[in-house]
Amino acid sequence: MKRAFFVIFLIMMVTSWLAAETKFKMELWNRWTYARADGETIQNEMALKRGYFRLEPKFGQNISGRFNLDFFSDDGPDDGAGIKLKYAYLDFVNLIPIRGSKLTAGLMKTYFGTIYDWDYTTIDKDPSDKYKFVSSTDYGVGIFGYVPNGLGSYAVNLYNGEGYKKTGSDINKDMNINANLRLTPIPGVTVGGSYMMQTKNDDEIDGEKNPDRQENTLIAGMSKLAYGHASLLTQYLMKTVSLPNVDDAEDVTTSVISLMPAYKLNNIFDVVARYDIYDPDTDTDDDGESTFIGGVNYHIMRDAKNAPKLLVQANYQITSYEDAKDDESELMVQLRWIFSETFK
């Protein structure tokens, strides 16, 4: 870990020297988790679940970047802490001849469903992340822009398909293709859709058809309704897994339905609920699960732009299974604190 912190310090110094302006940001999530199943305690843990170290350098008006390291408590044999590279990309504005467009290259967000702008209103992950549809970031290149008249935004991307956790260990010869569209036809109403063509394992090995080849189709649809202090976020996810090199192999379709209402009591307290229905195989009965989450967010402090700076989140969730498996309940209390500084 000493070497890792030395590398961080070195990156800060070099980036600050090269860039015209650099924003430094740190976010830490200290969490207590208490879980029970079948009348017994299965987890009682305090941990640093996430620590984000972020640099956002600007190289003039049209080039900027983001570099993130992800720290977390780790149960490995070394020193009890883990670290991963989460973001490392550059944005080039107006590089291509499309007005208001942006080209991004590097380890960047995955523009699928709501995973790319998920703000953890609940402690639990975005559904695409939780149910392992896509990784939140991946190595790739993309073009981003806006729909005319301020009606929305779009993104078209190519990704390795490996995510960020196991760099270089799960790359085949095909790129994952992704397209995303968000529209706001009227104030308070947002709708969107995403598509991804995802492959796993090469089509051939030593000239022979690879039976482990997968060609997956992923689709997401979302909507958000906001009126006054209330909002409702809905999302539908579907993934179809195909094995093209296996004779008579049937496609397997997975689906998720997620509903998340929230109400802002005032500038200090938010009340939130969430209900997920997960079906790993739509052609198989009694294999699904449903999760209900209820929670409160207490904003102790906000910054000058009214963004959260110090908050406490408390969530209770219960997961029920369609088979004979016992229900599982979980109580989580999390302290999130954020600080940042800009160097010029």
Interval 109-121: pLDDT, tens = 999 999 999 999 9
Looking at residue 54, its pLDDT comes to 93
Q: How far apart are CA 199 and CA 130, in angstroms?
A: 20
Looking at residue 2, its pLDDT comes to 47
Q: How far apart are CA 281 and CA 275, in angstroms?
A: 19
Q: How far apart are CA 290 and CA 169, in angstroms?
A: 33
User: What value does the CA radius of gyration of the chain take, rounded to a whole number of Å?
Assistant: 21
- Does the pLDDT of residue 18 top 60, yes or no? no
Q: For the chain, what is the domain count? A: 1
Nearest to 254 by CA among 201, 294, 198, 209: 198
Nearest to 66 by CA among 24, 7, 112, 97: 24
DSSP 119: -
- Work out the number of other CB atoms within 10 angstroms of the CB of residue 211: 13
Confidence of residue 1 (pLDDT cuts 50, 70, 90): very low
Confidence of residue 136 (pLDDT cuts 50, 70, 90): very high
Q: How far apart are CA 253 and CA 241, in angstroms?
A: 6
Are 187 and 108 in contact by the 8 Å Cβ rule? The answer is: no
What residues pair up with 218 in beta bridges, in sequence order?
196, 239
If you average pLDDT over residues 144-161, what whole number do you get? 94
pTM summary value: 0.90
Looking at residue 14, its pLDDT comes to 53
Going by C-beta distance under 8 Å and a sequence separation of 6 or more, which residues neighbour residue 270? 121, 262, 263, 264, 296, 297, 299
CATH code for the domain of 189: 2.40.160.10
Using a 10 angstrom Cβ sphere, with 0-12 exposed, 13-18 middle and 19 or more buried, the burial of residue 93 is middle
State the residue range of the domain holding 102: 2-36+45-343
Return the C-alpha torsion angle 115, 121, 125, 127, nearest 10.
-60
